[in-house]
């Protein structure tokens, strides 16, 4: 086999291997705000492939056409519930899908200043299928429990 034919074959096999490392999952979500403050709730992934609906605030801040201060998440008032009946995510084996929750309803710049581990932020791993979450503040931190 000559080099002229070998390179396209290697590239094709490489693309097939990469394509085999992704899988599409389906989720549903309810988030009950059991705190005394509004929450900002949205989806995020910690790896590839990039999907617009799963873009983190950090990613959105780098996309010129989406970089406005209200470009991520949905506010949920105290005592209210946010619900998404069906959402799909394509994940590589090492990528996890999350629901991210911020205390209050910060703007995009405000979200960027609240890091992982902050008492005002939760990154909750999603499980394929139904995810019923209750979020509240306990000992000064946002915490969650999964419904049965």
Give the H or E element holding residue 59.
helix 57-60
Fold of the domain spanning 23-146? Immunoglobulin-like (2.60.40)
- Per-position pLDDT tens, the chain of length 148: 554 555 545 444 554 445 558 999 999 999 999 999 999 999 999 999 999 889 999 998 888 776 566 678 999 999 999 999 999 999 999 999 999 999 998 888 899 999 999 999 999 999 999 999 999 999 999 999 998 6
DSSP for residue 72? S
CA angle, residues 7, 13, 17, in degrees to nearest 5? 140
So where are the chain's domains?
A: 23-146
Phi, psi of 90 (to 5 degrees): -100, 125
List Cβ neighbours of 88 (8 Å cut-off, separation of 6 or more): 24, 25, 26, 27
* pTM reported for the whole predicted model: 0.82
Q: Write out pLDDT tens, residues 36-61.
A: 999 999 999 999 999 988 999 999 88
């Amino acid at each position: 086999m000559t080099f002229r034919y070998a390179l396209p074959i290697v590239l094709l096999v490489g693309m097939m291997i990469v394509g085999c490392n992704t899988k599409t999952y389906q989720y549903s979500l309810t988030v009950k705000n059991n705190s005394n403050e509004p929450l900002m709730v949205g989806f995020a992934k910690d790896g590839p492939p990039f999907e617009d609906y799963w873009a983190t605030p950090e990613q959105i801040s780098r996309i010129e056409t989406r970089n406005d201060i209200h470009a991520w998440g949905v506010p949920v008032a105290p005592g209210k519930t946010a619900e998404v009946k069906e959402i799909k995510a394509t994940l590589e084996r090492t990528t996890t899908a999350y629901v991210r929750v911020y205390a209050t309803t910060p703007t995009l710049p405000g979200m960027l200043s609240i890091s992982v581990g902050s008492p005002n932020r939760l990154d909750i791993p999603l499980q394929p299928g139904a995810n019923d979450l209750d979020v509240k503040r306990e000992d000064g931190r946002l915490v969650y429990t999964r419904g049965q």
